[in-house]
Chain A
Amino acid sequence: MGNPDVVTIRELSKVYRQGEINVTALNRISLDIQAGEFLTLMGPSGSGKSTLLHIIAGVDRPTSGECRVQGIDVARLSESELADWRNQNVGFVFQTFNLIPVLTAFENVELPLLLTRLRGKQRRQQVDTTLELVGLADRKHHLPKQLSGGQEQRVAIARALVTDPTLIVADEPTGNLDSHSAQEVLGILQALSRNAAKTVIMVTHDPKAAAFGSRTIHLEKGELVA
């Protein structure tokens, strides 16, 4: 595979201080992720999967070591630079969907685009295109509570995709879905990495879900196991 590395992680550690004791969530992890990969992260509860995902996505900061995304050491960005960086480079998909309840599907997907330079008609077009991609063009004026769980998660994927980010990160995106909806969501993520050359990183407990990925890595007690 001649693809360049999108994510390079070196000696990455994360230690949470809880009163007197230190909890090591990640212990000197090194890892490269290539462009267009669909990487799945597995491991027991508390092994540090979410922590790793959050650091890659620029939501949390490492205690030591380095995490570069497209050459940028994310931890060195200031709070507001990081917010902009996330907006442009990362699409986040949550286990609990996290759609804004008072906004329609369309408005939810439009939300990250409001922070970009895209204006008016172009912006609306991009939202429409993305909603079509996840098969929800006919539901765009629905509120989240008027959608099924699977549909909500597809809206969330559209929201993650709409700014055309390099990275899509998903933390147990099928954890709250029935198997049929899960298949749909996983299918979309797989298509993104295969057809749109998006780099997808997904945490999952489910081996069947992990099978959709192109590579699986396992974490245990904050360390990578082969």
Chain B
Amino acid sequence: MPLPLKYNFRNVRVRWRSTLSTILGIALVVSVFVLLRALARGIETTNSNTGDPRNILVVRKGSQAESGSMVSREQFRTLRYFDEVARNEQGEPVISAELVLIISVPRGTGVGEANTLIRGVTPSGQELRPQVKLVKGRWFRRGKREMIVSERLAGRFTGFEIGGTIKAGLDRLTVVGHFDARSSAFDNEAWMDADEARSIFDRDQYSSILLRPRDQAAADAIIKRIEVDKRLGLRAEHEVDYYSKQTMTAMPFKYLAAILGAAMSIGAVFAAMNTMYASVAARTREVGTLRVLGYSRRSIVFGFLIEGTLLAILGGLLGSILSLAVYAYVVVRKVQFGTMDWQSFAETVFQFRVTPDLMLTGIAFAAIIGLAGSFLPALRAARLPVISALKSL
């Protein structure tokens, strides 16, 4: 039969002064843990929303990224007539030759410039990326020096508002629409017509080709076919695979979360242990009394475990609230994290989101810290012979 919970609750409350530093410590650990996890998840969301499992991306053999790749018009024409490529209702092959460029655009803050990525797409480019949806304005028209930009970038750069213009080569491009790409990597891009982009930026070649095979078998076949054809000198892979390699950036955050989480939680476990040892020492006679009244060793162990866990959960709650506060700050102030995408050298943006399930994970994490920290102290309390417990001061 366990001790009543109110006994544990009140002991935690009564001892709040001596437990405060432990609670705050655990709160810190949990908030860092939750924030890092949220960051990692933000990146992962971007990754998973970017590629379409049905699509195949083709780049030059030897190129790691789209930005360093070159695909000629002739190669594009060859691929267009591969019969593995799916056709739309109009009978057109679903394939888009694209040009990826990095240009410098003035920051919205008015200070300095930052790199951003311009993607030239052919009409199929939109069909191949259904996650990209126009939310304001209209789609660009070919030959009119028009472009559309992601809504998210629009807030960060001057000239990206609708009707705004930016310098591009010798010309100026006008923004006619904003799109939303569901937190995918395309949310860091500006789009225009591929051939128009080639002429403005004076490029003879495309960067990459995105295509949709008829089915899974056709996908495997086309990858094989491109791989084998030495004259083409191209490499094909699933779009999903490409982006998961490109955006490895989630890994450092995950490692950091794991390493920091582990190191900090070890510290927190020892802090909790210290607190609980002190609590046991201060209440030895009380333990003796409970034993005399008939409470078993097991209920004493339980009592202290519950108390330590309760304490840690308080810290966990506080830590979750702390991380939520940081998140709220980021959202309210529209602060976003610019990170360098080393492949494209463009400044990319990703969002992080503190969600209830992450907070719950954080609280559970705290509870484990509390449980681990109170284990030995609880055993010490229960091991004490009744007699010596009674005689202690």
Segment among A84-92, A132-140, A180-188 that sits at the interface with chain B:
A84-92
A114 within 8 A of B: yes
Known contacts A59-B390, A114-B1, A115-B1; A86 and B293 CB within 8 A of each other: yes
Residues of A contacting B386 in the complex (Cβ-Cβ under 8 angstroms): 59-60
Which listed residue, B4, B11, B387, touches A59 by the CB 8 Å rule? B387
A73 within 8 A of B: no
**What are the interface flags for A73-87 relative to B under an 8 Å C-beta threshold, 1 for contact and 0 otherwise?**
000000110011011
Q: How far is the CB of B389 from chain A (nearest CB, A)?
A: 10
Cα separation A112 to B291 with both chains bound (whole Å): 10
Residues of B contacting A57 in the complex (Cβ-Cβ under 8 angstroms): 292
A29 within 8 A of B: no
Segment among A2-10, A35-43, A94-102 that sits at the interface with chain B:
A94-102
Q: Do the beta carbons of B10 and A87 come within 8 Å of each other? A: no
A103 within 8 A of B: yes
A28 within 8 A of B: no
**What are the interface flags for B274-297 relative to A under an 8 Å C-beta threshold, 1 for contact and 0 otherwise?**
000000000001101111111111
Q: How far is the CB of B46 from chain A (nearest CB, A)?
A: 51
A159 within 8 A of B: yes
Q: Number of B residues contacting the other chain (C-beta, 8 Å)?
A: 24
Q: Do the beta carbons of A98 and B14 come within 8 Å of each other? A: no
Chief secondary structure at chain A's binding surface = helix
Known contacts A54-B387, A100-B7; A112 and B289 CB within 8 A of each other: no
Considering only CB atoms, which chain A residue lies closest to B11 in the complex?
A: A102
Q: Do the beta carbons of A112 and B387 come within 8 Å of each other? A: no
Residues of B contacting A86 in the complex (Cβ-Cβ under 8 angstroms): 292-294
**What are the interface flags for A109-137 relative to B under an 8 Å C-beta threshold, 1 for contact and 0 otherwise?**
00110110000000000000000000000
Q: Do the beta carbons of B286 and A83 come within 8 Å of each other? A: no
Residues of A contacting B296 in the complex (Cβ-Cβ under 8 angstroms): 80, 83
**What are the interface flags for A8-21 relative to B under an 8 Å C-beta threshold, 1 for contact and 0 otherwise?**
00000000000000
Q: Do the beta carbons of B292 and A60 come within 8 Å of each other? A: no
Residues of B contacting A83 in the complex (Cβ-Cβ under 8 angstroms): 291, 294-296
Residues of B contacting A96 in the complex (Cβ-Cβ under 8 angstroms): 285
Residues of A contacting B291 in the complex (Cβ-Cβ under 8 angstroms): 83
Considering only CB atoms, which chain A residue lies closest to B292 in the complex?
A: A92
Cα separation A152 to B1 with both chains bound (whole Å): 26
Residues of A contacting B294 in the complex (Cβ-Cβ under 8 angstroms): 83-84, 86-88, 112, 115
Known contacts A59-B390, A60-B387, A114-B4; A102 and B293 CB within 8 A of each other: no
Which listed residue, A54, A79, A114, touches B297 by the CB 8 Å rule? A79
Docked complex: B1-54 residues within 8 A CB-CB of A: 1, 3-4, 6-7, 10-11, 13-14
Q: How far is the CB of A102 from chain B (nearest CB, A)?
A: 4
Cα separation A80 to B1 with both chains bound (whole Å): 12
Residues of A contacting B295 in the complex (Cβ-Cβ under 8 angstroms): 83, 115
Cα separation A88 to B293 with both chains bound (whole Å): 9
Q: Do the beta carbons of A112 and B14 come within 8 Å of each other? A: no
Which listed residue, A84, A87, A100, A114, touches B289 by the CB 8 Å rule? A100
Considering only CB atoms, which chain A residue lies closest to B291 in the complex?
A: A83
Cα separation A102 to B279 with both chains bound (whole Å): 14
Residues of B contacting A112 in the complex (Cβ-Cβ under 8 angstroms): 293-294
Q: Do the beta carbons of B7 and A98 come within 8 Å of each other? A: no
Cα separation A50 to B388 with both chains bound (whole Å): 13
Residues of A contacting B4 in the complex (Cβ-Cβ under 8 angstroms): 107, 114
Q: How far is the CB of B304 from chain A (nearest CB, A)?
A: 14
Pick from B3, B10, B13, B294 the residue with the most CB of A within 10 Å: B294
Q: Do the beta carbons of A111 and B11 come within 8 Å of each other? A: no
Cα separation A96 to B296 with both chains bound (whole Å): 22
Q: Do the beta carbons of A103 and B10 come within 8 Å of each other? A: yes
Considering only CB atoms, which chain B residue lies closest to A57 in the complex?
A: B292
Q: Do the beta carbons of B293 and A103 come within 8 Å of each other? A: no
Residues of A contacting B11 in the complex (Cβ-Cβ under 8 angstroms): 102
A-B contact pairs, 21 of them (CB 8 A): A59-B292, A60-B386, A60-B387, A79-B297, A92-B292, A92-B293, A94-B390, A96-B285, A98-B288, A98-B390, A100-B7, A100-B289, A100-B290, A102-B11, A103-B7, A111-B290, A112-B293, A112-B294, A114-B1, A114-B4, A115-B293
- Please name 9 further chain A to chain B contacts, defined as beta carbons within 8 Å, in addition to the given A84-B294, A102-B11, A114-B3, sorted by A numbering: A54-B387, A86-B292, A96-B285, A98-B285, A98-B286, A98-B289, A100-B289, A102-B14, A111-B290
